Amino acid sequence: MSKTIKGFSKLSKSAKIDWLATNFTHDPISFKETLSSYWNSDKVIQQLHDEFIENTISNYYLPYGIAPNFIINGEPLAIPMATEESSVVAAASLVAKFWSTRGGFKAKVLSTEKTGQIHFFYTGAFEDLQSYFESNKQRLLDSTNDLTHNMRKRGGGIQAIQLIDKTNELANYYQLHLSFETIDSMGANFINSCLERIASQFKKEDIEIVMSILSNYVPNCLVRAEVHCPIDELGKDGRAFAEKFNQAVQIAHIEPLRAVTHNKGIMNGIDAVVIATGNDFRAIEAGAHAYASKDGKYRSLTHCSIDDETFRFWIDVPLSLGTVGGLTTSHPLAKLSLKILQNPTAKKLMEIVAVAGLAQNFAAIKALITTGIQKGHMKMHLQNILNQLGATDVEKTQISNLFKETTISHSSVMTALKKLRSMS
């Protein structure tokens, strides 16, 4: 028995599982059964998933749901969401319906710039570096012609290249800072390939390249989504609701402890669509939270105003998304999601994803300032608790009826199930 191994990646899938089962489990048979029960019966699909990463031994499912009734810039859309959090799709659906009779969501891409940097160290005179950069600038850009050819045909490519002096923050540190337009692709591979090519052409004896990589901070790849309506259309106590809602948003604007949770709720909606469409949710998360701190303090990504009896609620969020390339083109469900979304351009997907974030935040704040969050959460969570307790379908129906008007907790459900079972 050895808990470390050489050449694991070279083993077959079943040899990998055998090694793992022997060394890291107490019940190899059920371990293998669980893993294999998540394999796809279609060998082609399974192979596709096996090849997405290294050392694949099974698939990890996430529920894939639909939030219907979104109206975005006048167009009705049903939004696919991949998430494990029980209330997310229900909340999105409710909010979509609510705003569908109040003018729907408006969304607009404000900018689409992406950037990447070549980080390097240089100890000579700045003027010499500057003149080397200026006299070689065109050669550096031309060196990427084969890489940028297709992108340029579609109207994208490298937009600018600049030399940046960072030596006041770190001795001898400079950057080549490049901006890109990547049209419908997220562009990570494109950007990184261009950067590495330029770095290889730029380096010389006295220029020590440290690394070349895109930035996931994309404050100039920004989208705005919003809803607005007259206050009295918000419901019976429209003004009181609008004012309390506004207070909740103001709190998240000035109090980072609240802002983190507030923005987490926004990301519940954003990530679910980002994952469903095969985009990179870690990049989106990192960029969104950095943007939330752009003025030196972590703040809410959403904003609210009440002017002239009009309630307005909006989000500005940086989203670097693609609708071609990467997983968007190779994952069958990502492709399907894009079909459901009527094959959007990357810009349109930015609008949809921002709307999903705004809707989720609207649902959370509405619940928080009225009934509290637990009512809806626990209602959705009830099925999870019942599954954990091994309830049958009949028991699930009976317990769900019982808890229609009662507060749900793990222990109260357990007690009710015990009681039910003792009676039968």
Q: Binding string, 52-91, against ligand MEV, x = CB under 6 A?
A: ---------------------------------x------
Decide: is 268 part of the binding site for ligand MEV (CB under 6 A).
Answer: yes
Q: Of these residues, 377, 379, 396, 410, which one is catalytic?
A: 377
Q: Specify the pairing of strand 207-214 against strand 114-122.
A: antiparallel
Decide: is 267 part of the binding site for ligand MEV (CB under 6 A).
Answer: no
Q: For residue 375, give the H/E element and its range.
A: helix 374-388
Helix/strand/coil (H, E, C) string of 45-101?
HHHHHHCCCCCCCCCCCCCEEEEEEEEECCEEEEEEEECCCCCHHHHHHHHHHHHHC
Decide: is 261 part of the binding site for ligand MEV (CB under 6 A).
Answer: yes
Residue with smaller CB distance to ligand MEV, 265 or 344:
265
For ligand MEV, the nearest residue by Cβ is 265
Which among 72-80, 215-223, 257-265, 280-288 is the span making contact with ligand MEV, rule CB under 6 A? 257-265
Decide: is 119 part of the binding site for ligand MEV (CB under 6 A).
Answer: no
147 close to 230: Cβ distance less than 8 angstroms: no
Decide: is 264 part of the binding site for ligand MEV (CB under 6 A).
Answer: yes
Residue with smaller CB distance to ligand MEV, 85 or 181:
85
CB of 316 to ligand MEV, least distance (A): 17
**248 φ, ψ (degrees, to nearest 5):** -60, -40
Minimal CA–CA distance to 35: which of 63, 11, 16, 10? 16
Which among 73-81, 181-189, 264-272, 291-299 is the span making contact with ligand MEV, rule CB under 6 A? 264-272
Minimal CA–CA distance to 254: which of 224, 292, 214? 292
SS3 204: strand
377 catalytic residue (yes or no): yes
226 catalytic residue (yes or no): no
DSSP state of 324: B
**252 φ, ψ (degrees, to nearest 5):** -70, -20
Distance CA 214, CA 114 (A): 8
Which among 181-189, 219-227, 260-268, 274-282 is the span making contact with ligand MEV, rule CB under 6 A? 260-268
85 catalytic residue (yes or no): yes
Decide: is 272 part of the binding site for ligand MEV (CB under 6 A).
Answer: no
CB of 258 to ligand MEV, least distance (A): 8
* Cα 95 → chain centroid: 20
Per the listing, tokens 């669980």 go with 34
275 close to 82: Cβ distance less than 8 angstroms: yes
Radius of gyration for the chain, computed over Cα atoms and rounded to the nearest angstrom: 26
400 close to 380: Cβ distance less than 8 angstroms: no
Q: Which of 114, 119, 224, 262 is the binder for ligand MEV (CB under 6 A)?
A: 262
Residue with smaller CB distance to ligand MEV, 94 or 391:
94
Angstrom distances, CA of residue 147 to CA of 116, 151, 170, 202, 369: 15, 8, 32, 17, 52
* Cα 333 → chain centroid: 16
Which among 110-118, 259-267, 340-348, 350-358 is the span making contact with ligand MEV, rule CB under 6 A? 259-267
Residue with smaller CB distance to ligand MEV, 99 or 217:
99
Q: Of these residues, 262, 280, 347, 366, which one is catalytic?
A: 280
* Cα 30 → chain centroid: 34
Q: Of these residues, 18, 85, 243, 285, which one is catalytic?
A: 85
114 catalytic residue (yes or no): no
> Considering only residues 163-222, where is the footprint of ligand MEV by CB under 6 A?
none
- State the number of binding residues for ligand MEV (CB under 6 A): 9
Residue with smaller CB distance to ligand MEV, 110 or 257:
257
CB of 245 to ligand MEV, least distance (A): 12
CB of 307 to ligand MEV, least distance (A): 24
Residue with smaller CB distance to ligand MEV, 264 or 289:
264
Distance CA 387, CA 409 (A): 14
- At 83, the amino acid letter reads T
**The two three-digit tokens of residue 218, written as one number:** 């994309």
In sequence order, what are the residues at sequence separation of 6 or more whose Cβ sits closer than 8 angstroms to the Cβ of residue 400?
Answer: 382, 383, 386
Residue with smaller CB distance to ligand MEV, 365 or 391:
365
Which among 113-121, 162-170, 263-271, 380-388 is the span making contact with ligand MEV, rule CB under 6 A? 263-271
Per the listing, tokens 């890109």 go with 180
Q: Binding string, 361-380, against ligand MEV, x = CB under 6 A?
A: ---x---x----x-------
So which residues are the catalytic ones?
85, 264, 280, 377
Binding positions for ligand MEV, rule: CB under 6 A: 85, 261-262, 264-265, 268, 364, 368, 373
